[in-house]
Structures are given as C-alpha cells and as structure tokens.
Structure 1
Amino acid sequence: MLIPSKLSRPVRLENTVVRERLLAKLSVAGNYRLALVTSPAGYGKTTLVSQWAAGINELGWYSLDEGDNQPERFASYLIAAIQQATSGCCASTETMAQKRQYASLSSLFSQLFIELAEWHRPLFLVIDDYHLITNPVIHEAMRFFLRHQPENVTLVVLSRNLPQLGIANLRVRDQLLEIGSQQLAFTHQEAKQFFDGRLSAPLEAAESGQLCDDVAGWATALQLIALSARQNSGLTQQSARRLSGINASHLTDYLIDEVLDNVDGATRQFLLKSSLLRSMNDALIVRVTGEDNGQMRLEEIERQGLFLQRMDGSGEWFSYHPLFGNFLRQRCQWELATELPILHRAAAEGWMALGFPSEAIHHALAAGDANMLRDILLHHAWALFNHSELSLLEESLRSLPWDSLLENPKLILLQAWLMQSQHRYGEVNTLLARAEQEMKCEMDATLHAEFNALRAQVAINNGDQDEAERLATCALEVLPLASYHSRIVATSVHGEVLHCKGDLTRALTLMQQTEQMARHNDVWHYALWSLLQQSEILFAQGFLQAAWETQEKAFQLVREQHLEQLPLHEFLLRIRSQLLWAWARLDDAEVAARSGMDVLAGYQPQQQLQCLSLIIQCSLARGDLDNARGHLNRLENLLGNGPWHSDWVSNADKVRVIYWQMTGDKKSAATWLRQTPKPECADNHFLQGQWRNIARAQILLGDVEPAEIVLEELNDNARRLRLMSDLNRNLLLLNQLYWQQGRKSDAQRVLIEALTLANRTGFISHFVIEGEAMAQQLRQLIQLNTLPELDQHRAQRILREINQHHRHKFAHFDENFVNRLLSHPEVPELIRTSPLTQREWQVLGLIYSGYSNEQIAGELDVAATTIKTHIRNLYQKLGVAHRQDAVQQAQQLLKMMGYGV
C-alpha cells in the first residue's frame, strides 16, 4: 500500500507570503523539460512550489523520504503520482509498477511514455526532497526520463543540492528553468509581509529589513525569530543576531534554547515522541503519544508555528519541517532513550492497524523487538516478497536470532527463496541443510516437501537433472493442494527435467498442468514460463504451427498481465524469432530478436547472447557475411565472459560454424573442434544441436567418416525421441556430407526425406543456409518433376530464397568477380579471347541459378527476345550448345575461383 500523504500536495498555510516574483518565473515552467528549485534546508522550496501548484489540475506530487532509495518503491510512488495527475491515463504502467513486472526503471518509463502519448494537455510532476536519493540506479533512470519524456511533460525537482540529472546538458539546450537559494532568499518587502502576518505588533520596515539582512533572507530563520518574539517579547533583535550567519547544520543549540526550552513540558514530550513518525495522522499520534485526540493536538502544534505542515488537502496527514524533524529525532535519542523501544513498538502497531506492514517493520527493527518483527513477517512477508521488498525482508531476517528462525521454519524457507531469487544458488542448499540439522523438533512433512521443491528448482538451475527430478517427485508426493506455490514449482521442474531428457510427450503434459495451476492461483510468471516450455517442446516435435499458437497465448498473457519487462518476455521474443527464421521471415525474425535485446537492456550485456546469435543467423541466411562478421566479434567477446547453459553455447557455436563453412575458414573450425568438449549423449535438442555443430565442422575439415557416424547416431536418437525438427536439420547436414563425397543418390534420398518432413515443420531457412550446394540439388529435383506437389512447391520456394540471398556470392558474376576471373591463370583461352559482355555474364549467372528465360527477362527488366539473343551469343562464346552445358561451364569457373559448389 502507498502512503497517501506522500502523494499529496502540501496545503498552503495561513499567512503564507505569496511570492509573486518567483511565481511569475514558475508560470513558464511548462516551456521546459525540467524546473529545478535548489537551496539548503529552510528556504521555502516546498512552500513556493505548492503555491504555484495550487491552480494546476494536471499535476502529480511525490514527497520523498529516506525509504525511497529503493528503485521499486520509487517507481511505485512516481507512477502513482502521474496517475493522480492524469486521472488514471497510465493504467498499464501502474499495474506493471505495482506487480514489479519490469526489467528496469528505464523500461518501465518507456511503457509510461507510450501511454502518455495519448495525453495531450500539459502535465507536471513534482518530486520533493530529491536530495534524499543516493541510489545511482534511480539517478540513471531519471536521466532517461528527462531525455525521453513527452514534450508536454515538465518535471519539477526540489532538492537541497544539485541532483545528478544531466543538468549541464539541459542548461546548454535551454531546457532547464532554475531557481536557487539567492532567488529564494526573502526580500525586504517579503520579510515585512512575513512578520506582519505573524506578530501582533507590526515591525517598522527598516527593522524587518535589518532582520532580513541579518539572516540573509533565510525563511526558517525568519520563522524562528517570529516564534521567539511571540514567546519572549522584546527579544527579536537578540534572536536575529544569534541566527545571523549560522546554517542548517548548526541549529541545534538555537532550537534547544529558543524553541524546545520555551514550550511547556507536555508539548515538549509530544514533539519528541511524535518526531519518530516520518508522517502522522490522528490514529498514529494516539498510539505513540497517548494523547486522547491526536488530530486536535496536531492542529494545536500547527497553530503554535512549531514547524508542523499538512501533507494533504483533507488535513489528516502531517509531517515536521525536515530541519525540525531531524533535530527532534536527535533530541529524542538523548532525552527518551529508555522509552524508545516502547515508542517504536507503538508506532509499529499503529502502522499495522492502518495496513502498512513495511512501515511497521522499520519501527519493529528500531525497537529491536524480535518477536514483533517475527509476527509481522509470518503474516505479511510473502506479500512483501511478491512486491519485491527484498532488501527490507533480508534486513529483517538478518535481525532475527537464528533460534527464532528455527522455531519458525517458514521464515527459513522465505530466506532461501530470497537467495534463489537473487541467483545465490549455492547458499540455498547450505541454509536448508543447516536448518534441517539444527531444528529442535521434527520437521513437518509439508514443510520438508516445500524445502524439496525449492531444492529441485536450484538443482535444475545448476543442470543436475537427476537430482531435480528426484526432489520434485518427492515434493509432489507430499505437498497438499493448499501449498500451491511449491506445487507449481515442483511440477514445472519435473516437466523441465523430462524436456531435457527427451520425454517430450510427458513434459508437454506437465507444462500444461503447470500453466493451469499458475493461472488459477495468479502466479503469472510461472504461467508464462510454462507456455514458453510448451512452445519449445512443440517446436522440437516439429509442430511449428502449434508452437506459434502457443506463443500467441503467451503474448496475450504478457499484454493482459503487463509482463512486458520481465526477462521471460525476452525468452518469448527469442523463440518467436527462431520460428520466424525457420519460415524464412527474416526481417520479422530480426525485429523480434532486437526487441528481445531491448527487454534485457537493463541487464548485463552477456544476457543478450541468445538474441545476438539469432541476429547473426538472419545475416547468414541473407548471405550478408560482412554484417554477420561484425556481430560475431561481439558474440565471441560475450562467450568469453562466463559459464553458459548448454543451449546458449550450442546456439552461439552454430552461427560460428556456419560462418566458417560459408567462408571456408578451416583454421578456426579446427581450433574450435579441438577445444570443444563433446556431450555425453544427444537425448534432447540442446545436445543434438551441439553434436550437429561438431559434425558440420568435421565436414568442413574433410573428416567425413566421423561426421557420418555422428549424424547417423543423431538421427537414430531423433527418431526414437521423436525430435522431428532435429531430424529435419540432421538430414540436411547429412545431405551435404553425401553431396561432398559424390554420393549423389544418397544425397538425393535424404534431401527428399527432408523435404517431406518440412511439410510438417515448415522449414525454409534451414535449407537456404546450405547455399549453392543445396540449390544445385533442388534444380535437379525440380527438373526431374518427380516430387509430390507440396514438396515440389517447397523446393521451388527454397530455390527462390537461395537465389535471392546467395546468388551474388556464387553465380551473379558481377564486374569485380569477372575481372578476377579473367586474370586467373587457369581461365580457358576461349573465354579470354572471346570475352562475354557484362550483361551476358549476368545472364550466365541466372541460368546457373536455375532461372527460366522468362524469369531472367523479369529479373533484368528486358524483353524475352533480348534474353534469347544474349543466350545465343554467350553459347557461341563459350562453345556450348545446350543450357546444361552452360550450367556445367559456369560451375567449373566457380570451382576454379575457389567456391565450393
């Protein structure tokens, strides 16, 4: 829950000086990205801006306190402030903030700006006391906010120091409105107006002007002088002399003498006790001070001018001026030291009664009351965990004695989940083992099962499939339906284990069960995870259309539950990119991969490895080797920075090996092959992929016998486990091996099987990536006209894709290629003495690529009769009589130039 007072504009106090000169300056704030009001404490920043804001409806106000240094808390309040200003225009962003469903503050703000695009009126967001923010993550996010906020949005920041918001850049670009302490200092006229509103006997203008000069226009000092004058008649000048030249850090002595020692004992006690509350209302005051009517007491303190200010329009919430509040808390530590634990306990009880457990925890910690802290956690810790209050929970659990945790093992489970959520896997098992060993009573069977569910999650994260399966199975045998979170975890882990072991049918069933349980209990990230696993399983089984439809369900879930910035969204975009690539929708595939990288923009660069591999795949399928090389340099740098899941390594190695194949880089392939460990088996698509990489490298190096053994074994496993997509890929690589060996009938046999299987998988790019060797075989099959209609259609589609993306490498015969060809020492003398024109070379390349006369005419945008003339001329110059002879001649020339056709 959000504290309402933190989102309320301060109420204009009676007799407040209206500072027309500064209000006039603020009146044009809407023309700037940032309005910055900076000064030391007590110069009236908040009062001034609240005066200006009084007549503006589309304005959100966020008052910071020390607890707002946590990015999640900061984001929740900031978005709530904008929601108030826009009457709920940004509902999706608010839901994301409440559920902590974003990767970073910048990504959350990106979603906010998308929704604000529909808001066309001027909008102001005031952030008060920004100097309390020290977290660099928040500073960086607010710099992003300022760079990208819509033109109709103005950020107004109040701070005691210059905030780290890229001020210099904004100043140079004239996008910054500044008001500093010199401008905030009271003028003589404002000081006279100030005293006239507070003293029963007005001061002469000269006298008030002198007082103003004595304290350099410092508003708090003027207020202290007025307070002193009311309490001690005739001491106004003496008070001014004492305040002259001092600053906020040296007020303690003055405040003791002139304020605290001049109030009655009951008021002094009230001030000290109530200062422990950063914000307060009637109920909290009654709890902490014991006063019968808290609201009446607060209003009385306000009337006395004791630096108490209203925080909302209803007048229910109050807070002390920051300077005075800090002073009072320090004095409270001295004067009420023995009472502090009791006071903090009372504050904690008050906050709990209002439904704010996080505020209550702060006071329970300050009270050192382990029992109260334990009780709050037992009732509210999981709600705080689900709202990402991880730092607060960790601090709380560290404050509890170990014996208290042993007596309440649910808290030990919570501590372990905190470790798991932060990827501290090694600490999880250590903690659970210690707890089980030292617990004084026998562990409840359900709790033991919950421990096992968590251990299973750790085991699968560490790649220990057998242990994960054992633990998940043990947990599911015991867990009651009420322990839904642990049952979801254990079911998910069991399904993932079966997926890794190649038992796809059972894995799919368990992941469907996980989805149903997660949806029923609103555990949305596990619902999304289960859909992603289902899609991967269906893809591995060769049911790509079903995988697509499952992904569509996942995208719908992301939209409905605002999961756009969860890392799992990147996983979804990545598998969508893989599917689009398989279907040769390369542009769409690259867009999806880049969108996945955007989701992970706030994480370590290494996390982008998978999507980067897909972008390289797209470049390779297009035959754009220069672009692929640029991305490969970055990929190889990332590969050197950490341990990776076998799937990640396999996908990264795949694009490297294909690139080496396309460029004939045998040296890199040989080095990689020597250094790459060979998986123990090939029971899933992760391991099949890496073995396929090994076989491709072996084929490139001419080690065809071991490559054939590998591929035959892969096919056996793929058929046994019904990994149909892997079988499709394996057949294509086996086809290349047979073709390279000159085993044309074997090559044709497995190619026909691959084409038939592609009617189920929809594969296109997997054929295209094999380049000209694949094109030649497809031309022959098409010319034979023996393929079934669907296979014939797919072969023609693949050939078109190869011609489009790879023709320039092999058969375009562009000017640069022809020049190198004619200077080659082995070029036939007939070609040297009877050179073809550039157009005739282009026609030869298109003939070689399998184009008909009509297709060549369309490609070159000339008449079909012109093409016939070109063909007749080039036949004569080459000394050939038929199209097939011309194809063979072109093939010989390409081989001579080093192309592996």
Structure 2
Amino acid sequence: MWEYFDEEVFVHLPSELQTLLLRTAPLSKINAQMINQLCNTDNGEALLAQLNKQSNLIIKLPKQCSWYTCNSFFKSFLMHKSKQQNVQHLSDTEIAYLLLDQQQLAEALPHAIRSADQDLIIELLQQGGWALFHDGQFNHLQACFNLIKQVIMQYPELVILKAWMLQSHHQHYKVAPFIKQAEKVFNKLNLKLSQEMLSEFMVIKAQISINQGRISDALTQAQATLSYLPNPSARTSIIAQTIIGEAYHCLGKLDLAYQYFQEVLDLASEQDMFQSIIWSLYQQAEILQAQSLHQKAEEHLQKAIDLIKLHHLESLPLYAFPLHYKVQRAYQAGQFELAEELCKKAIEVLKPQDEQWLLYTYTLQAKIALEQEQQADILIAEIERLLRNQNYHTDWIASANYARLKYWRINNDIAAIEKWLQQAPRPASALNHFDQCHNRNLIRAYIKLGLFDEALEIAQKNMCDAQACQLQMEINRNLILLTSIETKLQKYSKAKRTLTSSG
C-alpha cells in the first residue's frame, strides 16, 4: 500500500511539499510558523492549506485551528519514505525547541526528556515547570530533575519548584536539607536573590517549620511573607495563606483557619491551582468535622474528590487524604467492609510512592482488623517498621500509636505499653485533634496499667483544651474516657454527671 500511495499520490506533490513532509514527519503537529522556520520560507500557511486540501493528507486539529496533524497512515508512510531516502529527521532537541517556541509544553516535554539536553530541560522548566506542577505531572518533573542533577543549584527558581514537588509528595524530611544545600551553593556562587525570590524561600521555610511542628515559627514566617513584599506573586500569597490556615488549625483557632482556607480557595480558583483548591477543601472538611458539622464536612470532601477526578489527579498522593477521611468515617459507623475497600483504593494510589506513604493506611487497616477481632500482627509489624525508618507528621504518629496501643491492650502486652510510655509523645497543650489523640493514647496506657489518677489528670487537661478550642469531636471522645476513669475510681456520681453531659 505504501508503494501504491507513493506512486499515485506522493510523487505528484510539488518537490517543496515533499521535502517539507519528510522533514517534519516526526512531529506530532505543525503550524505555519514552524514550517516557515524549518523551510526558510514565509509561505507556511499556504503550504499547509494546500496539503489540507489535497486528499486530506493533513487535517486541522479540533479547537486548535492553526495546528495541523497527519493522519496515522500518512504519517507511517512518511516515516518509511524518509528512511528510504535517508532524510535526516529533526533531533529531539530541535523538535523540543520548536515546540517550546510555540508554547507547546506538553508536546515538547517527551522530546526534551529523550534529548537529555540539560540546557533545554532548564529552559523548559523555567518556561513551564509550574504548569507541570499544578497539572500533577510529578513523574515528568522528577525525570527532568534527574537529568539536570546538581546543575539545579544554579537556578534558585528551580530549587523552589523541586522543593514544592518534594513537599507535595510529603517527603518533609528531604525538603529542609535540600534547601540548606542550595543556600550554601548560592553563597559559594555569590548569587544575589531578588526580593521576590527571597519571599519564595521564606514561604518554603514556613512550610518546613510547620512540617517540624514549629507552629509559631511557621505562622510568623508565613505572615512575614505576606507583609514583606507589596505585591507577592499569586502563588506565593496562596501558599503563605495556606500555611497560616494550617497553623491556626493546629493552634485550635478553627474559625480563623477556615476563613484563611476560604481565601486560599478563592485565590487558587482564579489561578487554576487545582492542588491548592483540593487541599483547602480537605482542610475545611477536617475543621468542620472537628466541630461535629458532619454533613457540611462531607459536602466539602465530595467537592475535593470531584475536582480530583475532573482534573485526573487520582495518581497523586493528595487523593489519599480524602480516601483516608472516608475510611475513618466508615470505621466510626461500623461499616468495616466499606472501610476496607477504601483502604485498598488508597493503597493503589500510594504504592507507586515511597513506602512511607503506607503508614496511615496500614494504621486504618489495623484498627479495622482489631475492631473485628481479626489478626493484625503483620499490619502492626509493618507499622512498627515504618515508624522506625521514616519521618512522619505528628498526626500520623498519633494514629499509629493508637493502633499499637489497641493491639497491646487486647493482647495484654504490659511490657510493650510500659516501654512505649518511656518515650511517648507528651504535648504541652492539646489544641488540635492530633495532640488530643496523643494525650488519649497516654490515658489509655495508664488505664491499662491501673494508674487511674495519672490518667484522670491528663484527661481533665485534655478536656479543658478541647473545650477552649471548641473541638466538639474531641470533647465527646474525652467525655467517654473521663466516664471510664471515674467509674474505675468508684466516683460513680461524678461518672454519671459526665456521662449525662456527653448527651
């Protein structure tokens, strides 16, 4: 068929068109500007129109009127013919630069990666790195970073991009040393950062602070970012306000945190920063849940999931957060089969990531298994292993310790509980759900050991903190524990009053 097509169609085309087609055969799409550049002509539009008219050898792309593509048979023929005639195709580097000149980032990207040309990849990242980030194309970003290696340290804007990519994968423990290493290189090269770039580094340091549990530092740094520059970039402002929202959430200022996340939601929607939109909705759902506003929380969560699916972000670790939330809700409702199905879905999302991501899902699976009196030994062993080898947010540590304690209490492993108490987290205050959980872990351990006075002291303080911050879900959980402790201390009248107040 190729021979027939050659004899009946191709040879009858003007030589100028033949040369053009063979030279551009590897391109997925072409426009007049590219033709003019490649063929040293100013007649690109007419040539494309002629080809389009002639037996539909090329066709216009829908919704991209200035762009054309070959039909698949014709493209195969051209590749075959160019090989026969030893036509030298454009290299991946040349194709990538052509497409970049036309702002066709998605099409340029695979050619740039195949080229392994560091200068080209740096230009591509400078031009469209944030677009790739917001579109969730982390694998492509990582491939680019792998190719430019330590050269990245000469480009502060790319250092920031990589730092946020690490943060989006919740590889918190990698972000701080990476930034520290970059700043040493900047000093060595005597690189002077602009005010805007300094604000970029300030906001990533605020994120590092919140990762490390230094909430007051994070709040100060993020607020300084907003006030330091008169016109910070939209992205910097959005990230800073996200961190402020997270800080206020940690400090138990739920209404204020919710307001900041609403502002982030509005600003991120204007900028099509879909991951920021989804994260804000998820954080708002958690705040509403803490206030026992379950229906509104579910509505926010569903909006986040709908956006993830609409923008095809299901492969991002971000998707695991709403899935985990739904697992917890199903677990609390006694819907264990549904909870387990959702855990499996979360594992599918997280398996391509670092294994550290599996800790929280394993924790949820262990809780489900223990509640149904099923074997959880393997899951608990995996949780123990991951806790030893990874760095985690205090929220995940609190949940993992809850599962471990539940397992030890069921198996009457007093030695394990006593050993855990020696190094257990002991927050100075409990103004959020994870510090509340840390304290309840301590309370349950002391109850199991028969140390009811110690348990009561922590429970009363936990209740005061929960009430001060209006953490209604935590208040309810604390009331149950207080009733249990007071009963064990034979304070029956007080236990009855506590139980009544929980209604």
Using the size of structure 2 for normalisation, the TM-score is 0.76
The letter of the residue matching 1:13 is W
Counterpart residue number, 1:541: 291
Is the 8 Å Cα contact of residues 616 and 628 (structure 1) preserved in structure 2? Answer: yes
Please give the alpha-carbon distance, in whole angstroms, between the structure 1 residues aligned to 2:362 and 2:144. 36
The letter of the residue matching 2:275 is H
Counterpart residue number, 1:13: 2
Please give the alpha-carbon distance, in whole angstroms, between the structure 2 residues aligned to 1:514 and 1:641. 34
Is the 8 Å Cα contact of residues 612 and 631 (structure 1) preserved in structure 2? Answer: yes
- For the pair 1:727 / 2:475, whether they are aligned, the reply is yes
Is the 8 Å Cα contact of residues 502 and 683 (structure 1) preserved in structure 2? Answer: yes
The residue correspondences of 1:159-558 to structure 2 (distance < 5 A) are 287-288=37-38, 290=40, 312=71, 315=74, 320-321=79-80, 324=83, 350-357=98-105, 377-387=125-135, 388=137, 389-391=140-142, 393-394=144-145, 405=155, 410-418=157-165, 420-421=167-168, 423=171, 424-430=174-180, 433-434=183-184, 437=187, 443-478=193-228, 483-558=233-308
Counterpart residue number, 2:446: 698
Please give the alpha-carbon distance, in whole angstroms, between the structure 2 residues aligned to 1:465 and 1:281. 52
The Cα shift of 1:469 comes to: 1.6
Is the 8 Å Cα contact of residues 512 and 530 (structure 1) preserved in structure 2? Answer: yes
Question: In the superposition, relative to structure 1, how do residues 705 and 287 fare at CA in structure 2: closer, same or farther (>3 Å)?
Answer: same
Counterpart residue number, 1:607: 357
The letter of the residue matching 1:394 is F
Counterpart residue number, 2:430: 682
Q: Deviations over 1:170-204 (max 9, x none)?
A: xxxxxxxxxxxxxxxxxxxxxxxxxxx9xxxxxxx
Please give the alpha-carbon distance, in whole angstroms, between the structure 1 residues aligned to 2:145 and 2:237. 25
Q: 5+ unaligned residues in a row in structure 2: which ranges?
A: 8-15, 52-68
Please give the alpha-carbon distance, in whole angstroms, between the structure 1 residues aligned to 2:354 and 2:259. 34
Question: In the superposition, relative to structure 1, how do residues 356 and 426 fare at CA in structure 2: closer, same or farther (>3 Å)?
Answer: same
Question: In the superposition, relative to structure 1, how do residues 628 and 377 fare at CA in structure 2: closer, same or farther (>3 Å)?
Answer: closer
- For the pair 1:582 / 2:341, whether they are aligned, the reply is no
Is the 8 Å Cα contact of residues 118 and 148 (structure 2) preserved in structure 1? Answer: no
Please give the alpha-carbon distance, in whole angstroms, between the structure 2 residues aligned to 1:720 and 1:368. 58
Q: Deviations over 1:858-894 (max 9, x none)?
A: xxxxxxxxxxxxxxxxxxxxxxxxxxxxxxxxxxxxx
Question: In the superposition, relative to structure 1, how do residues 410 and 668 fare at CA in structure 2: closer, same or farther (>3 Å)?
Answer: closer
Please give the alpha-carbon distance, in whole angstroms, between the structure 2 residues aligned to 1:585 and 1:701. 31
Is the 8 Å Cα contact of residues 153 and 186 (structure 2) preserved in structure 1? Answer: no
The letter of the residue matching 2:250 is C
The residue correspondences of 1:116-127 to structure 2 (distance < 5 A) are none
Question: In the superposition, relative to structure 1, how do residues 382 and 317 fare at CA in structure 2: closer, same or farther (>3 Å)?
Answer: farther
Identity %: 28
Please give the alpha-carbon distance, in whole angstroms, between the structure 1 residues aligned to 2:87 and 2:228. 55
The Cα shift of 1:698 comes to: 1.0
The letter of the residue matching 2:277 is A
Q: Deviations over 1:419-460 (max 9, x none)?
A: 555633035422553476478786443332223223322332
Secondary structure, counterpart of 1:626 in structure 2: coil
The Cα shift of 1:412 comes to: 4.9
The Cα shift of 1:537 comes to: 1.8
The Cα shift of 1:290 comes to: 4.7
Is the 8 Å Cα contact of residues 514 and 527 (structure 1) preserved in structure 2? Answer: yes
Please give the alpha-carbon distance, in whole angstroms, between the structure 2 residues aligned to 1:497 and 1:598. 31
| Number of residue pairs the alignment of both structures matches | 465
Question: In the superposition, relative to structure 1, how do residues 744 and 471 fare at CA in structure 2: closer, same or farther (>3 Å)?
Answer: same
Secondary structure, counterpart of 1:609 in structure 2: helix
Residue from 412, 415, 427 that aligns with 1:667: 415
Residue from 748, 758, 762 that aligns with 2:496: 748
The Cα shift of 1:395 comes to: 6.4
Q: Deviations over 1:295-316 (max 9, x none)?
A: 79xx9xxxxxxxxxx9635958
Question: In the superposition, relative to structure 1, how do residues 314 and 467 fare at CA in structure 2: closer, same or farther (>3 Å)?
Answer: same
Residue from 698, 717, 728 that aligns with 2:465: 717
Q: Deviations over 1:243-298 (max 9, x none)?
A: xxxxxxxxxxxxxxxxxxxxxxxx9xx99x959967797965764465898979xx
Question: In the superposition, relative to structure 1, how do residues 586 and 456 fare at CA in structure 2: closer, same or farther (>3 Å)?
Answer: same
Residue from 481, 484, 487 that aligns with 1:739: 487
The letter of the residue matching 1:708 is L
Secondary structure, counterpart of 2:2 in structure 1: coil
Question: In the superposition, relative to structure 1, how do residues 319 and 487 fare at CA in structure 2: closer, same or farther (>3 Å)?
Answer: farther
The Cα shift of 1:701 comes to: 0.9
Is the 8 Å Cα contact of residues 105 and 128 (structure 2) preserved in structure 1? Answer: yes
Is the 8 Å Cα contact of residues 290 and 433 (structure 2) preserved in structure 1? Answer: yes
Give the structure with the higher percent helix. 2
Counterpart residue number, 2:58: none
Secondary structure, counterpart of 1:14 in structure 2: helix
Counterpart residue number, 1:644: 392
Please give the alpha-carbon distance, in whole angstroms, between the structure 2 residues aligned to 1:282 and 1:746. 81
Please give the alpha-carbon distance, in whole angstroms, between the structure 1 residues aligned to 2:25 and 2:364. 56
Secondary structure, counterpart of 1:575 in structure 2: helix
The letter of the residue matching 2:442 is I
Q: Deviations over 1:703-730 (max 9, x none)?
A: 1221122112212222222222222212
Please give the alpha-carbon distance, in whole angstroms, between the structure 2 residues aligned to 1:418 and 1:322. 43
Please give the alpha-carbon distance, in whole angstroms, between the structure 2 residues aligned to 1:476 and 1:661. 48
Please give the alpha-carbon distance, in whole angstroms, between the structure 1 residues aligned to 2:307 and 2:162. 29
Q: Deviations over 1:16-46 (max 9, x none)?
A: 89xxxxxxxxxxxxxxxxxxxxxxxxxxxxx
Please give the alpha-carbon distance, in whole angstroms, between the structure 2 residues aligned to 1:363 and 1:671. 54
The Cα shift of 1:489 comes to: 0.9
Select between 743-752 and 460-469 the one with higher mean Cα deviation: 460-469
The letter of the residue matching 1:558 is I
Counterpart residue number, 2:403: 655
Please give the alpha-carbon distance, in whole angstroms, between the structure 1 residues aligned to 2:224 and 2:441. 37
Q: Deviations over 1:777-801 (max 9, x none)?
A: xxxxxxxxxxxxxxxxxxxxxxxxx
Please give the alpha-carbon distance, in whole angstroms, between the structure 2 residues aligned to 1:365 and 1:539. 47
The residue correspondences of 1:778-817 to structure 2 (distance < 5 A) are none
Question: In the superposition, relative to structure 1, how do residues 648 and 290 fare at CA in structure 2: closer, same or farther (>3 Å)?
Answer: same
The letter of the residue matching 2:282 is L
The residue correspondences of 1:75-114 to structure 2 (distance < 5 A) are none
Question: In the superposition, relative to structure 1, how do residues 586 and 747 fare at CA in structure 2: closer, same or farther (>3 Å)?
Answer: farther
Q: Deviations over 1:748-778 (max 9, x none)?
A: 2222222x2xxxxxxxxxxxxxxxxxxxxxx
Counterpart residue number, 1:192: none
Q: Deviations over 1:148-190 (max 9, x none)?
A: xxxxxxxxxxxxxxxxxxxxxxxxxxxxxxxxxxxxxxxxxxx
Residue from 568, 571, 576 that aligns with 2:321: 571
Please give the alpha-carbon distance, in whole angstroms, between the structure 1 residues aligned to 2:291 and 2:433. 10
The letter of the residue matching 1:546 is K
Q: 5+ unaligned residues in a row in structure 1: which ranges?
A: 1-11, 18-196, 198-266, 300-309, 333-339, 757-901
The residue correspondences of 1:878-889 to structure 2 (distance < 5 A) are none
Question: In the superposition, relative to structure 1, how do residues 648 and 281 fare at CA in structure 2: closer, same or farther (>3 Å)?
Answer: closer
Question: In the superposition, relative to structure 1, how do residues 518 and 358 fare at CA in structure 2: closer, same or farther (>3 Å)?
Answer: closer
Is the 8 Å Cα contact of residues 153 and 182 (structure 2) preserved in structure 1? Answer: no
The letter of the residue matching 2:214 is D
Question: In the superposition, relative to structure 1, how do residues 736 and 629 fare at CA in structure 2: closer, same or farther (>3 Å)?
Answer: farther
Select between 284-293 and 727-736 the one with higher mean Cα deviation: 284-293
Secondary structure, counterpart of 1:625 in structure 2: coil
